[in-house]
Structure 1
Amino acid sequence: MANIKGATAQKRMYVGTHGNLSKEVLVVPLSTVADGGVVDVIEVPVGVNFVGMSIINEALGAGVKLTLTVDGKALVTDKDCAGAGNSVEAFKPVYTENKTYLTITVTGGEATGEVVLVPEYQSIGY
């Protein structure tokens, strides 16, 4: 199954002075994304170090969970989004070694709402 291009997939990720902490606000409609669907959220350049993620979600449907990945590495795994909620997710920093996408994989059922992602990252460079 091909990845779905999210509404924010063509947005440019801010890459400022090396080492400064940056955030993006990404509003991602997930209505009718089927179980197993993968959404490309935003293109990520080489040299970005992800250090955290805030997630604000509507009730996405019974059993729906989200997994967020970048460059083949999981940032957040099986986040329960059946009910509305918000959270700040901490994880070991993840560095992008390739030009890639931040992706959402939907599992557990068809998603029926919207999620807002606020990734925290540093632009480190090559």
Structure 2
Amino acid sequence: MATIKAPSMHNRMYVGAQGNLSMAFAAVTLKAAAVATVVEMLDVPIGISVTGVRVNTSGLGAGAKVDIKLGETLLEANVDVSAAASLSIALPTTYTEEKAVLTATIKGAAATGKLEINPEYVATGY
């Protein structure tokens, strides 16, 4: 299993006034990323309540899907990213009790193209 670090792993998430809904932007361009490759999209600090994700893709190829996780918590399984799409996925609120990494694991087929996973969150503090 390979790991790819998206350029967005170096971005900082806004952690301002508590209670404001925010969105972070995380993107990567993949080139034949093999099945089971874990793409590290974004470091998420402690005290964040993730309420959803927006997934945008140019289409990663026939059969390509991703599992989206925050740390060890599966947020959404088998998200179809085979064709160009923009999806908004509401999630049960997931709170980070410690720093966690937002990841996408490639499934179904090798993936080539642009993938964005933009978490919607509230900085609730710890």
Q: What TM-score, normalized by structure 2, do the two folds share?
A: 0.93
Q: Within 2, Cα distance between the matches of 1:52 and 1:117? A: 10
User: What is the aligned-residue RMSD (CA, Å)?
Assistant: 1.2
Q: Within 2, Cα distance between the matches of 1:17 and 1:103? A: 26
Q: Is the 8 A contact 2:27 2:114 kept in 1?
A: yes
Deviation per CA, 1:4-53, whole angstroms, max 9, x where unpaired?
21111111111111121111122221222110000111111111100011
Q: Is the 8 A contact 2:70 2:103 kept in 1?
A: yes
Q: Is the 8 A contact 1:7 1:29 kept in 2?
A: no
Show the 5 A alignment for 1:94-113.
94-113=94-113
In structure 1, the gaps of 5 or more residues are none
Report the equivalent of 2:34: 34
Deviation per CA, 1:38-72, whole angstroms, max 9, x where unpaired?
01111111111000111111110111101111021
Report the equivalent of 1:57: 57
Report the equivalent of 1:23: 23
- Percentage of pairs with the same residue: 37
In structure 2, the gaps of 5 or more residues are none
Q: Within 2, Cα distance between the matches of 1:25 and 1:99? A: 17
Q: What TM-score, normalized by structure 1, do the two folds share?
A: 0.93
Q: Runs of 4 or more off by more than 6 Å in structure 1?
A: none
